[in-house]
Amino acid sequence: MAEIFEFPPLQMPFVGIDEWRRDVTEHFVPLDVHPLGDGPFRARASRVDVGEVSVFRIEHSASIVARTPALVSRGATDLIKVSLQLSGEELIEQDGRVALLHAGDLAIYDTSRPYSLRFDGDTSLVVLTFPHGYLDIPREELAAVTATAFPLESLLGRVVNPFLVGLAQSLGELPAEHGQRLARTGLDLLMTLIHTQLKEGVRRDPRRQLLHEVLGTIDRLLGDPELSPTQIAAAHFISTRHLHAVFAEHDVTVAGWIRERRLEHIRRDLADAQLAEVPIARIAARWGLVNPAHFSRLFRATFGQSPTEYRTATAHEPAAGSGFEPAAEALEPARSAAISLR
């Protein structure tokens, strides 16, 4: 499997610590970066965007990267990050756990809460970023698997990790619609890893098990415009009061979760190049929002743009931001599907 991780070196020049600090804050979230060792710090990275999924290749010297409580408090962020180590080692700490990644391993972390990354030597890695909504699980559940190593040697790791590496190698060369489909497949594979890891804790907690079963029911029935807490509770042979109590533990209402999931699915479909000719109202109705005016108001209130504006933006924004350069020949194929995460 070693040949899977044989990337050619990035072609752009290295930058020093001051420029690197500016770049990581611009392209990710505000971060503290502290070089380790006595030698000069150097770093470089490439970036390709497909929809709201960004894929970075990064090479840098030994350092500590921290998302401190003070930086988190400066502004909310919806970004989830996945580190996949290509060479060297990475130590990730979040939510009371520490994961040590070797070449081929990956871990997930959440930029809405503090975390730290430590690299004791030169390192090369792939980082994927995307909105939390793509994962279809509450943040509190995701917190149970952040900073958990998913090794290349594990049963699922032998499938998922090389796929993500291949995605990073090829994404920029693919037509937009194919890149979007493969990026979605990569996120689906990540969800498989997450749910497999969560199952152990869920089996020990009947209340969490009920939550996951209910979430599955909601996902299956999202297209039903009449979907209601009463219907969901009946499907699980519990009272609506019990159902509301389960969701209240995660600071969300049943109706709010249904609305959020519908809007998230609609947002993904609007960014899908293969659905560019499908009327917006039909996409909304597919996910249970059959009143176009009501849907449009909800979408604008949630995402700050009308559905039409959002679809146009995802089709025409540049694929690479300033600072991090696109990998060689990567920019043009991904351009038509890109949207900035900032």
Q: Are residues 211 and 74 in the same domain?
A: no
Decide: 89 and 119 in contact? Cβ < 8 Å.
yes
Give CA–CA dist 95/93, Å, rounded.
7
Model pLDDT, residue 201: 65
Question: What domain range is 133 assigned to?
Answer: 2-201
Decide: 10 and 46 in contact? Cβ < 8 Å.
yes
Decide: 113 and 95 in contact? Cβ < 8 Å.
yes
How does the average pLDDT of the chain come out, rounded? 84
Q: What is the layout of strands, in order, in the sheet containing 53-60?
A: 43-50, 53-60, 123-131, 79-87, 106-110
> DSSP code of 4?
G
Residue 332 lies in a domain: no
Length of the chain counted residue by residue: 342
Q: Are residues 14 and 157 in the same domain?
A: yes
Where is the domain boundary, 148, 178, 201?
201
Residue 270 lies in a domain: yes
pLDDT tens profile 288-334: 999 999 999 999 998 888 999 988 887 744 444 445 665 443 333 33
Q: Report which residue type is found at 304.
A: G
Cα 179 to chain centroid distance, Å, stands at 15
Decide: 130 and 180 in contact? Cβ < 8 Å.
no
Residue 127 lies in a domain: yes
- E-only strand ranges, the chain: 32-35, 43-50, 53-60, 63-67, 79-87, 90-94, 97-101, 106-110, 115-119, 123-131
Q: Report which residue type is found at 105.
A: D
Q: Are residues 39 and 124 in the same domain?
A: yes
The region of weakest confidence among 86-90, 149-153, 201-205 is 201-205
Give CA–CA dist 327/114, Å, rounded.
30
* Res. 237: pLDDT tops 60: yes
* Res. 85: pLDDT tops 50: yes
Q: Are residues 172 and 214 in the same domain?
A: no
**Measuring CA to CA, how many Å separate 77 from each of 74, 84, 114, 275, 301?**
10, 21, 12, 28, 17
Q: Are residues 16 and 162 in the same domain?
A: yes
Give CA–CA dist 253/236, Å, rounded.
17
Closest-CA residue to 341 (of 51, 44, 136): 51
**Measuring CA to CA, how many Å separate 212 from each of 5, 26, 150, 195, 290?**
35, 36, 21, 10, 27
Mean pLDDT of 114-128: 94
Confidence of residue 226 (pLDDT cuts 50, 70, 90): very high
Residue 230 lies in a domain: yes
Confidence of residue 337 (pLDDT cuts 50, 70, 90): very low
Where is the domain boundary, 166, 201, 236?
201
Mean pLDDT of 65-88: 90
Model pLDDT, residue 329: 37
Confidence of residue 184 (pLDDT cuts 50, 70, 90): confident
Q: Are residues 153 and 216 in the same domain?
A: no
Q: What CATH number corresponds to the domain at position 130?
A: 2.60.120.10
Q: Are residues 224 and 101 in the same domain?
A: no
Comparison of pLDDT for 338 and 237, the residue scoring more:
237
Domain count for the chain, please give it: 2
Q: Are residues 196 and 258 in the same domain?
A: no
Q: What CATH number corresponds to the domain at position 221?
A: 1.10.10.60
Mean pLDDT of 238-267: 89
Q: Are residues 165 and 246 in the same domain?
A: no
Angle at 330 between CA 267 and CA 167, to 5 degrees: 65
Q: Are residues 252 and 192 in the same domain?
A: no
Q: Are residues 191 and 102 in the same domain?
A: yes
Q: Are residues 151 and 235 in the same domain?
A: no
Model pLDDT, residue 239: 92
Residue 335 lies in a domain: no
Mean pLDDT of 14-33: 92
Decide: 339 and 309 in contact? Cβ < 8 Å.
no
Q: What SS3 class is residue 107?
A: strand
Residue 295 lies in a domain: yes
Where is the domain boundary, 136, 169, 201?
201
Model pLDDT, residue 202: 66
The region of weakest confidence among 31-35, 117-121, 189-193 is 189-193
Residue 339 lies in a domain: no
Residue 175 lies in a domain: yes
